[in-house]
Amino acid sequence: KVYPGMNTPFKDVDIVVVRENTEDLYAGIEFARDDSGTKQLLDFVLDATGKEIRKDSAVSLKVISQTASRRIVEFAFEYVRQNGRKKVTAVHKANILKFSDGLFLDTAREVAKGYSDIEFGDMLVDATCMELVRKPQMFDVLVLPNLYGDIISDLCAGLVGSMGVAPGANIGDEVAIFEPTHGSAPKYAGQNKANPMATMLSGVMMLRYLREKDSA
């Protein structure tokens, strides 16, 4: 969100990025170059698809499940409903990644049918990046798989001034942790340079999550 005094050419920007953060390439399922397990995987891919991967490759698996996709998209819609927002946009690359991102998109569209009172759309991740730097005001709530969410959340922070004003939350079924998106910055300790807004706004998010709206 753009706040008064921030160094940004944009006005009236208020975007929420809802990022699935347990799957995708960040699941950490990787196979090192020349490892015996990697060789078995490459042989399996060749047998199953007829496509040969170079023998000197390292491999990471992009994991997208219907369960996690449904959970994060439902969260996005519920967030819109509970916070007076208007629209959910699912961000993906399903035109190329037809099975993984395709599953995410299909799940998002299916969930959207249960929220007919809320506007829904979807957009390719590259097109989303282009429109964010052209017309960020067109976006409200974005819901994304893990990798795209990581990248686009930083892009959105840049649009509104810096990471120093971008709050964040990790919300699970039973536990929620609220923290600024920038993490720690020990190199600025004691220099009176750190911007506390992201930390303060993360506290505001926590209070709203606890339904303490007056305190927030």
**Residues 102-153: pLDDT tens digits?**
999 999 999 999 999 999 999 999 999 999 999 999 999 999 999 999 999 9
Residue 1 lies in a domain: no
Residues 194 and 138 in one domain: yes
Q: Tell me, what's the pLDDT at 8?
A: 85
Quote the pLDDT of residue 162. 81
The pLDDT value given to residue 188: 84
Q: Which residues does residue 119 pair with via DSSP β-bridges, in sequence order?
A: 87
122 assigned to some structural domain: yes
One domain, residues 76 and 103: yes
State which residues form the domain around 105.
Answer: 16-25+63-209
Alpha-carbon distances, residue 120 vs 79, 99, 140, 170, 175 (angstroms)? 13, 21, 10, 23, 28
The count of structural domains within the chain is: 2
Q: What is the CATH number of the domain that holds 124?
A: 3.40.718.10
Q: What is the pLDDT of residues 39-48, one digit of tens each?
A: 999 999 999 9
Q: Which residues of the chain have pLDDT under 70?
A: none
- Sheet of 87-92, strand order: 16-19, 141-144, 87-92, 119-124
Q: Report pLDDT for 213.
A: 85
Please give the Cα distance from 156 to 17 (Å, whole number): 8
| CA nearest neighbour of 25 among 127, 97, 118 | 97
Q: Catalytic positions, please?
A: 26, 93, 126, 150
CA 64 to chain centre: 13
Contact 23, 68 (CB under 8 A): yes
Asked if 98 and 203 sit in the same domain, the reply is yes
